[in-house]
Amino acid sequence: MSNKKLKLEHKLAIGGVAIGNGFEEVTDKRAQETLEAAWDAGIRQFDTSPWYGLGLSERRFGHFLHNKNRDEYVLSSKVGRILKANTGKMPETMWVNPAPFNYKYDYSAEAVRRSVEDSLQRLGVERLDYVFIHDLSPDHNDEYEDGVTWLDHFEVAKNGAMPELTKMREEGIIKGWGLGVNTIEPILKTLEVADPDIFLSAIQYSMVKHKDSIDRLFPAIKEHNVALIVAAPFNAGLLAGKDRYNYQGEMPEDIKKKYKRIREIADAHNVDLSTASMQFSYAPEEVDTLLVGASHPRQPKENVNFLDVKIPSDFWKELKSEDLIDERAVTP
């Protein structure tokens, strides 16, 4: 086993989906106030992507961070899509009033290096700590070019993005790289063919969805001794009381039923479900950092003390007794 595992210093990081107008339009002013609140609350790890708001999130993060001491915070972004000036109709995306750009999937070595340089310019900083290959995953098959699957893009990345990011790590441009994905299979596949340092796994380890991570993801993370950031512990809103599930908003009936019962048990035990969700997702020893988004200045302050709240053990016992969470799941 390698001894190279990155030592992640921060238990909590702020993500850039909401700052990129992921679910609603956020004004520049509110975006800056939210990031300022995160900084004031002690958060020093920030994650964004060219995809979020088609460059808008990176611009907003950069506007806030570029005057901070670069040695005082950790910053990550992503590669896999190249942005280009939009000369026609805006592409249909999940973003509300994004920046005026179009995009193209490209996991080649040349595109990855260009993407990192473009991100540094939008951010106004001299370096990134971590770079994640973004959305190289079966849940994006419908979004790729006609006839192209994630496995086709994976072959390009295996020969392009992955060795190029390894080279950039050796050059000292980045500290580490991995994948930022919403499914587990690409992470396992990458561990077989490349030399990654860190993964960002979203929507795969939450109170309503975690069995597959226990079965497959965590053993692989442990075996290869790589770092892991777990993102979206609320499943992009559901467990924080929003009427949406993951990023598409589709709510499967079994998830709806499970959430309703978990909510009832939380209310009976006087437990704040958002806090419980964060504690649950952070609890496994394989998880180094928890990544949570924010779109209002009040949220970072609420989130940063999530480990300080005492949750009664009977709450977790009842969830396990009703098979609402896996018996093997680590609870706080």
pLDDT, tens only, 5-40: 788 999 999 999 999 999 899 999 999 999 999 999
Please tell me the pTM assigned to this model. 0.95
pLDDT of residue 279: 97
Q: Which amino acid, residue 325?
A: I
DSSP-derived letter for residue 236 is: G
Alpha-helix runs per DSSP H in 56-108: 56-65
Per DSSP, which regions of the chain are E strands? 12-15, 45-47, 74-79, 81-85, 101-105, 130-134, 176-181, 198-202, 227-231, 289-293
Crossing angle of helices 253-268/273-282, nearest 10°?
A: 110
User: How sure is the predictor about 246, in pLDDT bands with cuts at 50, 70 and 90?
Assistant: confident
- Of the two residues 332 and 244, the one the predictor is more confident about is 332
Helix, strand or coil, per DSSP, at residue 206: strand
Is the pLDDT at 4 greater than 80? The verdict is: no
Residue 312: name the closest of 287, 289, 332 by CA.
Answer: 332
- Which among 7, 28, 29, 47 is annotated as catalytic? 47
Residue 52 annotated among the catalytic residues of the structure: yes
Is the pLDDT at 1 greater than 50? The verdict is: no
Residue 303: name the closest of 47, 48, 44, 12 by CA.
Answer: 12
114-117: long-range contacts, CB 8 A cutoff, minimum separation 24? 114/82, 115/50, 115/79, 115/80, 115/81, 115/82, 116/77, 116/79, 116/168, 116/173, 116/174
How many angstroms separate the CA atoms of 69 and 6, rounded?
22
User: How sure is the predictor about 3, in pLDDT bands with cuts at 50, 70 and 90?
Assistant: low
Residue 78 annotated among the catalytic residues of the structure: yes
Q: Could you read off the pLDDT of 270-303 as tens digits, one per residue?
A: 999 999 999 999 999 999 999 999 999 999 999 9
Residue 237: name the closest of 271, 190, 282, 203 by CA.
Answer: 203
- Which among 7, 52, 175, 272 is annotated as catalytic? 52
DSSP-derived letter for residue 328 is: T
Evaluate the CA torsion angle 295, 138, 231, 194 in order and state its sign. negative
- Counting residues of the chain whose pLDDT is more than 90, the rounded percentage is 85
Domains and their CATH numbers in the chain? 12-254+273-311 (3.20.20.100)
pLDDT of residue 86: 86
- Counting residues of the chain whose pLDDT is more than 70, the rounded percentage is 98
- Which among 4, 28, 78, 301 is annotated as catalytic? 78
Residue 254 annotated among the catalytic residues of the structure: no
**Six token digits for residue 241:** 């009381």
